[in-house]
Amino acid sequence: MSTIKQKFANHKNIVITSVIIALIAIACAFAVYLKLYTGEELWYEMFAAIIGVIITAVITMMLLVGQTDNEEKREKKGKVFEEKLRIYQEYLTTLYKVIKDGKNSNSEKLKLAFKTSSVAMHCEHDRVEKISESVEKIFKLSINDNGNALETLNEKGWNELLGELFKVMDEFKADLYQDFKGLKTSDWEKTLKNFTTAFAQDKGDSNAPQTLPDEKNL
């Protein structure tokens, strides 16, 4: 029964249109019969008026059905957008925690693996692949055996790290907003420079960025 309902829901416009055409054809045939074989103008005119009312009601119903379908699609699209936004934000938050801690424990790996699976549910394979490539580079730059690599990261490495983060953001943004064409690395050069300056330590070495701030201060 559920299969029949699903098929009807998927093709309800076709079913409704077919039924309407069949009813109109029958009504027209009956009207012609009244005109040709009864000779009663009153009956013919009454039936013609009824047909007009039916056609008007049918057109109105079809418009309402179309409007309802469009509203349902918009509502579904809005919910999907909200879910995507939530998942992508959680992914970035998890990635931030890994970078901040400077270590990739089994627990962190498991969390990020599940977050990546959630992203893959909504993103195309090509996007997930690009995101994973950027994440791999981010790990190499921010994590080492001795602890947080950010503490000794030079300006070049810091710019590369931020560049990969922006690439991840670009993929999420391109998926959320279909008209977003993406940005070139050169478009982020000024932003990268601003971040490098902002995170530079106050002491002599301006090439050594500070560690990331606590999450609660973001």
On the question of pLDDT at 218 being above 50, the answer is no
Using one digit for the tens of pLDDT, what is the confidence trace for 49-79?
777 777 777 777 777 776 777 777 888 888 8
d(CA 198, CA 192): 10
Position 208 pLDDT exceeds 50:
no
> What is the predicted pLDDT for the residue at 118?
85
Half-sphere exposure of 211 (CA within 13 A, CB side): 13
What is the DSSP code string of 155-168?
HHHHHHHHHHHHHH
Indicate the pLDDT class of residue 6, thresholds 50, 70 and 90: low
Assess whether pLDDT exceeds 60 at residue 211.
Answer: no
**pLDDT over 50 at 147, yes or no:** yes
Cα–Cα distance, 206 to 193 (Å, whole number): 12
- Give the global pTM: 0.58
Structural domain count, the chain: 1
Tens digits of per-residue pLDDT, 85-99?
A: 898 998 888 888 877
* pLDDT (tens digit per residue) in 169-185: 888 888 888 776 665 55
Residue 16 burial (CB < 10 Å; 0-12/13-18/19+)?
Answer: middle
Residue 101 has pLDDT above 50, yes or no: yes
**Cβ atoms of 212 and 99 closer than 8 Å:** yes
Over range 113-142, report the average pLDDT. Answer: 86
- 56 lies in which domain range? 2-217
Q: How far apart are CA 88 and CA 123, in angstroms?
A: 10
Distances (CA, A) of 113 to 106, 117, 120: 10, 6, 10
How high is the pLDDT of residue 203?
47
